[in-house]
Amino acid sequence: MKILLAASEAVPFCKTGGLADVVGALSQKLGAAGHDVCLFLPRYRVVDSAALPGGLARPLMVPLGGGAVPVSLRYLQYKSASVYFVDCPPLFDRDGLYVGADGKDHPDNDLRFALFCRAVLEGAKAVGFKPDVVHLHDWQTGLVPAYLRRHYKNDPFFASTATVFTIHNIAYQGNFPLASAAKAGFEPSDLTPDRLEYYGQCSFLKAGLVFADQLTTVSPSYAVEIQASGERGFGMEGLLQRRSVELTGILNGIDLEVWNPEKDPCLPARYDAASAADGKAACRKALLAECGLDGTKELPLVAVVSRLDRQKGLDLAIEALSSRLDSCRLAVLGSGDASLRDAFRELARRRPDAVVFREGFDDPFAHRLYAASDLFLMPSRFEPCGLGQMIAMRYGSVPVAAKTGGLADTVAEPGNGFLCRPGDAGDLGLALDRAFAARAGGGWGAVRGAAMASDFSWERSVQRYVGLYGLARAGRA
């Protein structure tokens, strides 16, 4: 099958969150399974242009809002996928993928991602890649299915192209003033509530949800939740209910090579399930020393590796943990929201023996935290899939998580973790108490073993995506 993936981020080129892990892994796994895979990404400043050998001799003139924007395509064969970078320096050669140094969204994000969407389709034509399926990810690529069905509907090149759109997080919608849709080249007739209009704005996410042949999201539970209420569906629940038959939840996997405690070069000691007790003890000792935490008592080490965002429920974690710092040690790695950052700083200042907070994005430290910790805290208010809890389990760090979305689909109590109600600090405290008691008891090896034995490989999910591509194509035939 010829599969074109388009996204706003993918490892190892550019990453702000789990989306990059998923798109990077999925494109490689599909390629390795024998499909002809082509991945389109914007050429941001972080993508080292010197490392991109191939380029099209002639720039493409990409139509946009009555004019045309010159864009070049930079090509790289990366393992089993062909990667095309949409190079348009005025729009993408700047710091920050979506947000500037001031912490605010780039003011021209509408134009940037409209141009990217159009360039994906023009680019596919220019390089002669006639896709059987175009698989889009999140709002930044939402206009692709809309362009295909409105602007290219009579173009024989795409006559048999089916589309699949994946929601990684419905809270991010790409909503802009209606004028943005005109700038992107849509007619007033497209700005209706059954197409791009969304409460007086134009929504790039909605464009994807309306026009794609099949929709997916990243866990079965989240697929149900986003249809069930406005609180979880963020206003898209009615549309998703109408498209329920075409909406499938497919759980993300993790890259078992990158996240492998047996071979991880970031760790002071490596281990597998059989040697986890000793290996993790060595990692724990090294981390406590590195962070200046008191390791004289055999207390469980609780880790957080997360974006600092209200979604993640970390304010609830602070509330629940404040009175429990004589029962555990806490190590937090995260960046984002300033009030959460200040709250963690304050906790660490108050209890330097028990709490360490490291602000920033630090991949090697994240690896060391997953390995050193006994418990991994993820009390999200909502969680489309979540990778952190899966990575933690692979490293034998047992999750204490909220029963929502992908967390509900991957963590079971009793079994491989501890669960609480989302948004409930009191219940989180009780889950922590159960986890601390279990850590101190004789059965801990079995809980940790169950976590490490959980299967989060990509293979099953990739097969499900391929099945869905087939369904989308059948619907177009």
Interface residues with ligand ADP (CB under 6 A) are 17-18, 21, 305-307, 333-335, 361-363, 366, 385-388, 391
Q: State the nearest-atom distance from the C-beta of 307 to ligand ADP, in Å.
A: 4
Distances (CA, A) of 459 to 33, 45, 371, 428, 464: 10, 33, 24, 33, 9
Nearer to ligand ADP, 96 or 470 (CB): 96
Nearer to ligand ADP, 144 or 333 (CB): 333
Q: State the nearest-atom distance from the C-beta of 124 to ligand ADP, in Å.
A: 28
> Strands of 375-378's sheet, edge to edge?
355-359, 329-336, 301-308, 375-378, 398-402, 418-420
| Separation between Cα atoms, residue 477 and residue 472, nearest integer Å | 9
Q: State the nearest-atom distance from the C-beta of 210 to ligand ADP, in Å.
A: 25
- Closest to 432 (Cα-Cα) out of 303, 284, 286: 303
Q: State the nearest-atom distance from the C-beta of 391 to ligand ADP, in Å.
A: 6
Q: State the nearest-atom distance from the C-beta of 103 to ligand ADP, in Å.
A: 16
Nearer to ligand ADP, 258 or 325 (CB): 258
Q: State the nearest-atom distance from the C-beta of 388 to ligand ADP, in Å.
A: 4
* Secondary element (H or E) of residue 119: helix 109-126
| Separation between Cα atoms, residue 201 and residue 191, nearest integer Å | 9
Residue found by looking up tokens 């993928």 in the block: 97
Q: Which residues pair with 135 in a beta bridge?
A: 5, 164
Q: Which residue is nearest to ligand ADP (CB)?
A: 18
Nearer to ligand ADP, 147 or 222 (CB): 222
Nearer to ligand ADP, 123 or 384 (CB): 384
Q: State the nearest-atom distance from the C-beta of 73 to ligand ADP, in Å.
A: 28
Nearer to ligand ADP, 260 or 335 (CB): 335
Q: Distance between terminal CA atoms of the chain? A: 15
| Separation between Cα atoms, residue 28 and residue 133, nearest integer Å | 16
Nearer to ligand ADP, 152 or 344 (CB): 344
Q: State the nearest-atom distance from the C-beta of 226 to ligand ADP, in Å.
A: 15
- Give 62's contacts (C-beta < 8 A, 6+ positions apart): 68, 69, 70, 71, 115, 118, 119, 122
Q: State the nearest-atom distance from the C-beta of 313 to ligand ADP, in Å.
A: 12
Nearer to ligand ADP, 164 or 333 (CB): 333
Structure-block tokens of residue 444: 């801990």
Three-class secondary structure of residue 19 per DSSP:
helix
Nearer to ligand ADP, 251 or 468 (CB): 251
* Secondary element (H or E) of residue 358: strand 355-359
